[in-house]
Chains A and B, each alone.
Chain A
Amino acid sequence: MAYQWDFSPVLANAPLLAQGLANTLKVTGTALVCGVALGLVLALLRLSPRRFLSWPAGFVIEVFRTTPPLVQLFWFFFALPILVGIEMTPFVAGAVTFSIQSASFFAEVFRAGIQSIERGQWDGARAIGMRHDQALRRIILPQAVKRMIPAFMERAIELMKTTTLIATISYADLLFAANEVSQKTFRPLETYTVVALIYFVVIFLASQVARLVELRLARSGESTVH
């Protein structure tokens, strides 16, 4: 007996899924912005010649890179409140976890990008009297970021997929909404097919935009590095 596909009960719950998608984008967006900013800070600390700065940064990065994201999420949601006595909403726990978790990966992307810039660029910047931070901001990072875009995009996609874990602490993200719709409609096959498709479309579109940006930068004539 062939399976009788019927998407209509799932589509009837589109508003629920839409709300889930909106929440997923909210978590992803928050973690992306905070993760990139924190990642840059961690990378700069880690590259510092001062060990009391580089060592703690390296520690944070390694801890978050080598522990499962789900454990991190449970730790922030269930364990941390016991320590500090502050309850976190699922959204805040997720945003904090995924921000630091992605920051530890973004930090490595930043570090690799910064280190890929030839020493001569630092020389050129310092020779006209730039301070370290000026050289970084004006000369090194603009070039590094351009080289980082593909790795950066990969990490951002990874982040969006990781945020599905937040459903386990009852935050109404897209996956959580899917569970609900699936139980309501008794149509898990259709529901999860639709949800997979939504993730695919969103991530695919985002990566196309990234590719366009990359091409645009390459075509502006400045990208050929000598």
Chain B
Amino acid sequence: MSNTVDQAAQAAQRRPHVRFSTDVPRQSANDQRQRTADLGTAGLLAARQVVKSYYKERLAIPVLRGVDFAVRDGEFVAIVGQSGSGKSTLLHLLATLDAPDSGEIHFGGRRIDNLPSTSRDLLRNRCLGMIFQFYHLLPELTCLENVLTPCMIAEGVWNYWRRRRTFRERAEHLLEMVGLSHRLKHKPRELSGGEMQRAAIARALVADPEILLADEPTGNLDQKTGQGIMDILTQLNSEGLTVVMVTHDVTVAARADRIVRLVEGRVEPEI
């Protein structure tokens, strides 16, 4: 294990389990299991018969043809599939960034794909963390400000100003955990790919989400840097964070608890 990852692991152990206020009611893990069992959908996040097509000049391009799959609390799931198989599409649907043509998405036992947009915004802001292949940091903001963005979105000017110290401490903690404490004031373009992805992870975690959705987090990185990112993700998972990762790289996927294969718009039965 590399030195930085060691540090990251240590930092993660110190990570305070501060819960940030949310308007979306949360249940304890026990409650959730109870509720999801009632609904007949196993897990924290689940897709049921999800169908999604893109339309190009009235011509439907079916991408997902009925995906059924569930993530249990605390699990590390890798979704693998060829390029163009609809992995990103599925992840976007899970994150409520897009709506399925038919089927349902459930989170913590509640259906979320048909929620009004304000509720979905809140959900994304507080319960779901996302990281992307191309990091997607805001180029105008420094590393620290990027990490703080979800807090700024969550709070009004006055509240944010009042609690800026708490937020800042938390963001610095997370950046320290991912090994970026020396890059707080740097703009994304002054960072390497691995550093950007770590900043993105810190940003995804700042609101203390229940699940992390990662879209090919290592897709743009060399193997060693990719391994570093994977170390952080497994570390986080071992601390209880549910992770759903999309990848086309089988070696990366091998580090997950479970692999879900997406073939021709359907989940291939597990072997």
Q: Is the pairing of A and B real?
A: no
Q: Which residues of B contact A (CB under 8 A)?
A: none
